[in-house]
Structure 1
Amino acid sequence: MNYSKLEVLLVLDYSNNQTSICPEVFMHSHHVIELSPSGKTFEATQELLLDAMLASGLPVPFSCRRGACGSCKVRVVSGQYRDKQRAADTPAPSYPLAADEMLLCQSHACSDMRLEIPGWSLDAPALKTSAQVVSKRALSTDIIELVLLPAQPLEVRAGQYVRFRLNNGDSRCFSIANLPAQDQGQLVFHIRRVSGGLFTEHLLPMLQTGDALQLEGPVGACTWQHDDQRPLVLFATGTGYAGIKPLLLTALARAAEVTLYWGGSSAADFYDREFLDQASHAHPHFRWHPIFSPQARVQQVALTQAHRWADTQVYACGNAAMISQAREQCLAAGVQAHRFVAEAFVASGAVAAEAGLPSALHPELEKVGPRYSLDGMLAAREQSVRAVAAIASQLQVGMTTAQALEMAAQTLQAMGASHTWHPTYIRFGDDTVCTPRQGIDLQRVLRTTDIVVVDVGPVWDGYEGDYGDTFVFGEHPLHQACVKALHEVFDETRQAWGRGLSGRELYDVAERSAQAKGWQLERNLAGHRIADFPHVLYGQDKLAEVEIVPSEVVWVLEIQLCHPTEPVGAFFEDILIAEAKPIATAAA
């Protein structure tokens, strides 16, 4: 080789934290890339690492391929790499990275490497495991504590639940009433006997120590969101307390200010009184109130207390009536919508039976991964709705678009997003007529009277969330009319979906609806697939181009409206879903 013509590249070696030279000859060698912690490997030469990994058949997460979304972010444990070469007029990747992170879509290997993909399992598990009965004891005359040890450790977030799979194909969902990481991985459940219940009256009494049960999970959206400076109010009815207790334990460990309101119809319903009394003495910032009432209207008692509602984080777990009333009254008292987090349940196994795949998925256009579940998708949707509300609440007049995007990234990270499968988009004023792929002015300033689009695509616990909405600052009539028309067009289009229209026909409906209201539909935003992360492994079709009737919870309907002459636009998107579905079910 003529070394006078040897091209060299500067790379970073994370194995020894030193920079080193990567000669071109090494770039064309075969490098073995190991993926931690699975131990799986693939080979790479001069191609991008993303392409090499996909060619090996591994289900790597990716989306935009432009270095903007962060879907293919990895941590570099060891090895050398170089950045993708790009033309002078091609923008550099915009996704922020830590010092030991890189993007697979923007990087070439220069040596053997060891990489770690945060928040992602290459095995794409279906979240199924077996568990052995450790113990069983009565907490009251009709409530049993069941303790299980899973065959493999489960990563459980405070507030989640698991689904018990029964031999007849049915299932029951129960909240995890402890923090398993603090109890040698054991899962604790509080299970109330339901008269005539298949599980609680027929199966639970027969369980003995060492017996095996089949579990799915953990899943659920009522999980810890709190920053330690914000007071908490917890609502529970009956064994809904089981879902609240891990949140309480987390708050106590962080010395947060926390108040629990627990509703029951008799003294026996407060089966954990001893622990709560001890905790209230040991923790000066914790109070709890047993609410004796057949209706268990816990929120009515709470609203008579001196809480700083506008600054309070609320969690609620229990019957649907309590949650609906508590949400309405707490929001009226000043609680911000994204700070009311709830899990409702009903006394039936029927809902859980719906929690698998949507029926009649199209075999080609609506593929999903092996870990897909309706529960996971709905939980991700709820979290994304809260994220948009949280981001919008922090927008301030005088803030630039760049500052807003940085704030949004910090908010998503704080709320637990592992990736963003598409970049976060925030557009002010004139930029609201732009589509995501069009350039915007990052230095544009949010004005006192303005219109703002917030569009997020985070990944929560391996599921894609995608939600966007438009917000009005000030009292500009045209801005308010735009948002009003936006939601009307979306609702009319979703209703048309219920009549059995294809994806292409839906956007024809949307276009006619927009025109009838004096607005133009931006058809370049045409809806898309969504699934367990990353959906691009299963399909990248546009909703507006498919000739099938789209199924529930695998498509996102996007609507962007623009004024015919003024630089005013609005955007709303949500998963196609017929109606709100409860996420968890109580025992029966």
Structure 2
Amino acid sequence: MTRTETGPNNFQITVQPSGRTFSSTPEETILGAGIRQGIGMPYGCKDGACGSCKCKKLEGSVTHGPHQDKALSHEEEANGFVLTCCATAHSDVVLESRQVTQEGAFPIKKMPTRVSLMEMKSDDVMLLKLQLPANDNFTYHAGQYVEFMLRDGSRRSYSMANAPHMLAGGLELHIRHMPGGKFTDQVFGTMKEKEILRIEGPFGSFFLREDSSKPIIFLASGTGFAPIKAIIEHLQHKGITRPATLYWGGRRPADLYMDAWVKAKLLEMPHLSYVPVVSDALPEDAWAGRTGFVHQAVLQDLPDLSAYQVYACGAPIVVDSAKADYTQAGLPEEEFFADAFVTEADKARELAAA
């Protein structure tokens, strides 16, 4: 194989069936090398926790760094699967990944932002709007995320909740309070409007595949609604009229913190449907809608998913359960796109259990 960059330690990574190639050194992950060179490979957390970047290794040798067993089991690794976010190449490598996009990835930028709005949407969800530098042409796919760069060097990831064409009003994020969380305690405690924060992005492969005409199922739990809201705005802006149904789940009705926004969109977008689902309503909630687990509500309505495309975002247990059950219901694996919100507490629990 011909190396794509000079240097004795560079290895060529080839992704099939797209045939796209890029180079990687033994010091960087395969995913990091792809991002650096604008290759649109699938990924989510970049931290070995969610499994979104898992793909089949057809040729070559890699070594994995630390990762969670649920993202890549020992059996899967023995069968040739890799997590590109924590795998480094030790030879030329050929991977099979059907979600590689032909369009170039948007440039990743680091920039300061100013908090322009803080609005409580529920007892534990804050809507933040960030003012971007006036001279910075930041752009992204609706559904992608940015990382906050904290002063101690750690990072926290949050999805953009508005489509790119709506950036004039600021970058919108939905932050759920995780008590004891390094960043969310700051957001819900000491943060003030006009505060300066540093972000980097865009990241992620969770965005609408516009080359399909299949009807869409949006599956959201809690603040997993944020990137799906951005995609819905993008659908409307682009005049895309594929049938789409949003299933949004929460424990209590208040967890559906922008329910009124969705219902208003239904009046503007006749191809959009909405099924709110609550799992643990109390008598005082007076909830008369669907109950149970949100991913199961989809199967109750659509037992055959073979003709659909699914975009799932939220708690890992919801995303993982949906993928397993939906493929059993006929959904092709390559038509399931996901962004699991893996918290630092989730990661700590998994590592402790390993």
Match in the other structure for 1:128: 110
Aligned residues: 241
| Partner of residue 295, structure 2 | 299
Selected match of 1:266 from 244, 252, 269:
252
Matched, 1:148 2:130: yes
Secondary structure of 1:330's aligned partner: helix
Q: Percent identity?
A: 31
Asked if the contact 1:156/1:180 (under 8 Å) is kept, the reply is yes
Tell me if the contact between 1:265 and 1:296 (Cα under 8 Å) persists in the aligned partners.
no
Match of 2:221 in 1: 237
1:283 maps to 269
Q: Shift of residue 69 of structure 1?
A: 6.9
**Equivalent residues of 2:143, 2:159 under 8 A apart:** yes
Counterpart position of 1:169: 153
Residues 1:206 and 2:190 are matched in the alignment = yes
Q: 1:126 to 1:299 in 2, by over 3 A?
A: closer
Q: String of CA shifts for 1:109-151, please: whole Å, max 9, x gaps.
A: xxxxxxxxx9489xxx763111111111111121110000222
> Looking at CA atoms only, which structure, 1 or 2, has the larger radius of gyration?
1
Relative to the length of structure 2, the TM-score reads 0.61
1:137 alignment partner AA: E
Greater RCO (CA < 8 Å, at least 6 residues apart): 2
Which residue does 1:334 correspond to in 2?
Answer: 330
Provide closer, same or farther for how the CA distance between residues 165 and 296 of structure 1 changes in structure 2, counting only shifts above 3 A.
farther
User: Following TM superposition, where does structure 1 have runs of at least 4 consecutive aligned residues deviating by more than 4 angstroms?
Assistant: 68-71, 118-121, 349-352
Q: 1:217 to 1:185 in 2, by over 3 A?
A: farther
Give the equivalent residue in structure 1 for 2:234: 250
**CA apart distance, 1:296:** 6.0
Q: Displacement, 1:237?
A: 0.6
Structure 2 CA distance for partners of 1:350 and 1:265, relative to 1, 3 Å:
closer
State the 1:230 CA deviation. Answer: 1.4
Match of 2:307 in 1: 311
Displacement of 1:350 after TM fit? Answer: 8.1
After TM superposition, the structure 1 = structure 2 runs for residues 517-536 of structure 1, keeping only pairs within 5 Å, are none
Residue 207 (structure 1) shift: 2.4
* Shift of residue 276, structure 1, vs aligned partner: 0.8
Unaligned runs of 5+ in 2: 7-11, 23-102, 281-290, 349-354
Deviation per residue, 1:210-263 (Å, 9 max, x gap): 221010111012111133621000111111111221122223441221001111
Pair 1:219-2:203 in alignment: yes
Pair 287,153 (structure 1): closer, same or farther in 2 beyond 3 Å: same
Distance 1:189 1:174, change over 3 A: same
Verify the 8 A CA contact 1:172 1:349 in the aligned structure 2: no
DSSP 3-state at the match of 1:311: coil
Whether 1:193 and 2:189 are equivalent positions in the alignment is no
Q: Is the 8 A contact 1:154 1:185 kept in 2?
A: no
| 1:138 aligned to which of 110, 120, 138 | 120
Tell me, yes or no, if the aligned pair for 1:265 and 1:292 is still in contact at 8 Å: yes
Contact 2:117 2:130 survives alignment (8 Å): yes
TM-aligned CA distance change 1:315 to 1:119, over 3 Å: closer
Q: Quote the Cα distance in structure 2 between the aligned partners of 1:244 and 1:308.
A: 23
1:24-82 C-alpha deviation (Å, 9 max, x unpaired): xxxxxxxxxxxxxxxxxxxxxxxxxxxxxx99xxxxxx999xxx9798xxxxxxxxxxx
For 2:116 and 2:240, how far apart are their aligned partners in 1? 29
Q: What's the CA shift for 1:175? A: 0.8
- State the AA in 1 paired with 2:119: R
Query: In structure 1, what is the Cα distance between the partners aligned to 2:303 and 2:170?
Result: 35
- Structure-2 separation of matches of 1:209 and 1:215: 16
Contact 1:164/1:214, CA 8 A, preserved across alignment: yes
TM-score by length of 1: 0.38
Q: Among 161, 164, 167, which residue is 1:180 paired with?
A: 164
Deviation of 1:199 after TM superposition, in Å, equals: 1.6
Q: CA deviation at 1:275?
A: 1.1
Aligned counterpart in structure 2 of residue 157 of structure 1, from 141, 151, 159: 141
Residue from 342, 347, 354 that aligns with 2:343? 347
